[in-house]
Amino acid sequence: MPTNRTTIDGSERGLPLHGAHVIGAVPADERFEVTVRVRRKVALGSLAANGFHADQAPGKRKYLTREHYATNYGADPADLEKVEAFAKAHNLVVVESSPARRSVFISGTAANFAKAFGSTIEQYEHDGGTYRGRSGPLTVPDDLAPIVEGVFGIDNRPVAKPHFQRPKISPGIGIQNHTTGNSSFTPPQLAKLYNFPSGLDGSGQCIGIIELGGGYRAGDIKKYFHEIGVPVPHVSTVRVDGGHNQPSTSDSADGEVMLDIEVAAAVAPKAKIAVYFAPNTDKGFLDAVTMAIHDTTNKPSVISISWGAPESNWTAQAMKSFDQALQTAAALGVTVCCAAGDNGSGDGVGDGKAHVDFPASSPFALGCGGTKIAANGSKISSEVVWNESTDSATGGGISDFFPLPAYQGKAGVPASANAGGRVGRGVPDVAGDADPASGYHIRVDGQELVIGGTSAVAPLWAGLIALINQKLGHPVGFLNPLIYGSVSGTGSFHDITSGSNGAYAAKTGWDPCTGWGSPNGANLLKALGG
């Protein structure tokens, strides 16, 4: 008797990548790994039942430990066993099961995965190369339908891009200490302009950084920090799904990796830097995020993510799984900073509509938008929305997927610029210098570069949060309800009131270009209880 099957909610895979076409079936014996996401044993709910109240000061919040979460809120071992039995029945190999990450990692052939999940798997070709793709929904037997929340890895198309932009300094010019006009800056100079609290270095903290390509060279890191007069940080690599530290040239994703490390560590040089390298697929990205959140060795208190893509590029199951992972981070006291994108209100889609970038659009992410800054000595002389062109401007806008979160209820989030005027999650929450014209001095693969983009803002904020966590003696965790609540009106932000990102304009207070604005770090620390 054939088993009745149910579609996995949100698993429908839409159109192939732009310009991609099918070139044939994937070889039946091609082997790869898949991640099956499993429901929580007990719903986290509002977190209040655990003593966590989002609007409480960080010092009064009761965070879950990673071990307590795994035992009480991770996947039920019985659910994991059912998925494992299903896999074995389809001649698939169970590589690992993780109650904390609510994941069963399975290896097998394309033919067996196609049969197990009711999918047609084909090979696609596009300008960037080839990928293994699928179309339509995935299915599981009815008895697994309540258990399985997502299946990732059958389709291995690249899902995200790094949000950085990279003009070069003239040959022979090293790192300079420019602080006037529209010049570029070292991260410590920006930290001074943004009044980051002094006398702190991130000691006792770990900053997790998610990377989906590229790599770093220890020699570059050592030379860079000697040049800017900051202690050389401790940087370690965590490999996820076969990803690894693989530096190549300065024109590659190395620019992203070095930007993230050098900005975060220049601000908080005594914080440990753990870099999670994973393949650029929905499976790789999700697995890297859950690995970082549940890492009981490095225990990051803040995570920086500078990769993303328009919401329209993601499956619903992916956005739900990421969002739940970031909710878990909130329960554990981990702040997750996400770049809001570098292609203005259209986010590079090119359909004439407004789009926001994911995962910055998750209500549990601290979305980081971009500004253009000018300085006169140690003071900011002007700061406006970063917008040089359609493809060089801060992302921001209204989510088409996530509803308006309660903490944004009084922020004046406008209706979407798209037809229908939906009011959803507003992006970003905060901002910082991102324009390449006022960008960051960075060293990449032996070259001195100036790099901009909202990619720089996420690690800048991650470094600030590490300093605040150090001073407070406990993590600030999920910042969003606080910056829309008790922190409001405390002078913790430089309100950006000039400029636009295309469909949305800056205004007094929160706006869909720069959120609340760029940080006044010392005031933010004070407002959070320091």
pLDDT at res. 235: 98
What distance in Å separates the CA atoms of residue 207 and residue 218, rounded to the nearest whole number?
Answer: 17
pLDDT at res. 2: 54
Say if residue 157's pLDDT is above 60: yes
Q: What is the mean pLDDT of residues 514-527?
A: 98
Q: What is the mean pLDDT of residues 183-199?
A: 96
Q: Are 162 and 307 in contact (CB under 8 A)?
A: yes
260 as an active site residue: the answer is: yes
Structure token pair of residue 516: 């609340």
Residue 398's DSSP bridge partners are: 426
Q: Which domains does the chain have, with CATH numbers?
A: 5-39+75-152 (no CATH), 161-527 (3.40.50.200)
Which one of the listed residues 155, 211, 256, 445 is annotated catalytic? 256
pLDDT at res. 94: 98
Question: Where residue 176 falls among pLDDT bands split at 50, 70, 90?
Answer: very low
Mean pLDDT of all residues belonging to the chain: 94
pLDDT at res. 499: 98
Q: Are 104 and 92 in contact (CB under 8 A)?
A: no
Which one of the listed residues 301, 321, 416, 455 is annotated catalytic? 455
Nearest Cα neighbor of 472 from 205, 243, 116 is 205
Nearest Cα neighbor of 475 from 208, 192, 90 is 208
Residue with the larger pLDDT of the pair 49 and 1: 49
pLDDT at res. 179: 37
pLDDT at res. 55: 74
- Cα 205 to chain centroid distance, Å, stands at 19
Q: Residue 92, CB half-sphere, CA atoms under 13 Å: how many?
A: 29
pLDDT at res. 181: 41
pLDDT at res. 167: 63
pLDDT at res. 443: 97
pLDDT at res. 284: 98
76 as an active site residue: the answer is: no
Q: What is the mean pLDDT of residues 53-70?
A: 87
Nearest Cα neighbor of 164 from 368, 350, 312 is 368
Say if residue 174's pLDDT is above 60: no
Which one of the listed residues 79, 122, 260, 429 is annotated catalytic? 260
pLDDT digits (tens, 9 = 90+) for 408-466: 999 999 999 999 999 999 999 999 999 999 999 999 999 999 999 999 999 999 999 99
pLDDT at res. 171: 41
pLDDT at res. 51: 55
Nearest Cα neighbor of 345 from 460, 462, 117, 505 is 505
**What contacts 330, CB < 8 A, 6 or more positions away?**
47, 52, 54, 364, 477, 478
pLDDT digits (tens, 9 = 90+) for 207-240: 999 999 999 999 999 999 999 999 999 999 999 9
Question: Which of 8-22, 139-153, 430-444, 491-505 comes out lowest in average pLDDT?
Answer: 8-22
Q: Is the peptide bond before 231 cis (omega within 30 degrees of 0)?
A: no
Structure token pair of residue 59: 């010092």
pLDDT at res. 488: 92
pLDDT digits (tens, 9 = 90+) for 379-407: 999 999 999 999 999 999 999 999 999 99
Nearest Cα neighbor of 401 from 272, 315, 340 is 315
Place of tokens 């992302």: 395
Say if residue 170's pLDDT is above 70: no
Say if residue 169's pLDDT is above 70: no
